[in-house]
């Protein structure tokens, strides 16, 4: 007997793909709660999404359970994104980092790129670009 294929939402292949992605961990670091909430809506149902509101919190997460991808804001009070990048490089942590920033400073972008970032996105963020980067880096 041939079983009729189930609806796409109940398709076992779709669920297997989602479960595989949920094992992939993304850290979003931004002091703007609206940005953190946006990432939750965009990526939270497909990836294991962890959020941090500052650089110190991000470093604690990186020590205990490092992600495969980080979306990192540059301008934050206390420990900023460049400081977090320097720490990652110093500790030789192998993780993809995408900078997200509302500022347009060429010097900062050059320094971030020299520290090995995967990409550099300016706010307001393009949801399609975020999705493309997450899919590409975590493939």
Residue owning tokens 């990432």 = 39
Fold of the 9-137 domain: Rossmann fold (3.40.50)
pTM for the predicted model, two decimal places: 0.83
C-alpha to C-alpha distance for 111 and 77, rounded to whole angstroms: 19
Check residue 6 and give its pLDDT. Answer: 45
Indicate the domain borders of the chain. 9-137
Angle at the Cα of 121 from the Cα atoms of 114 and 83, rounded to 5 degrees: 45
Check residue 61 and give its pLDDT. Answer: 95
Within the chain, which residues score under 70 in pLDDT? 1-22
Check residue 104 and give its pLDDT. Answer: 77
81-90 and 106-114 are packed helices; what angle lies between their axes, rounded to 10 degrees? 20
């Amino acid at each position: 007997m041939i079983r009729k294929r189930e609806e796409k939402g109940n398709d076992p292949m779709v669920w297997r793909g989602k479960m595989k992605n949920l094992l992939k961990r993304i850290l979003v670091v931004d002091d703007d709660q609206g940005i953190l909430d946006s990432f939750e809506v965009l990526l939270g149902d497909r990836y294991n999404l962890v959020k941090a509101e500052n650089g110190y919190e991000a470093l604690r997460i990186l020590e205990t359970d490092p992600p495969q991808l980080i979306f990192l804001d540059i301008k934050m009070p206390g420990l900023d994104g460049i400081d977090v990048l320097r720490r990652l490089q110093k500790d030789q942590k192998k993780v993809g980092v995408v900078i997200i920033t509302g500022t347009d400073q060429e010097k900062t972008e050059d320094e971030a790129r020299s520290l090995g970032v995967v990409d550099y996105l300016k706010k307001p963020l393009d949801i399609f670009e975020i999705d493309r980067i997450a899919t590409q880096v975590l493939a």
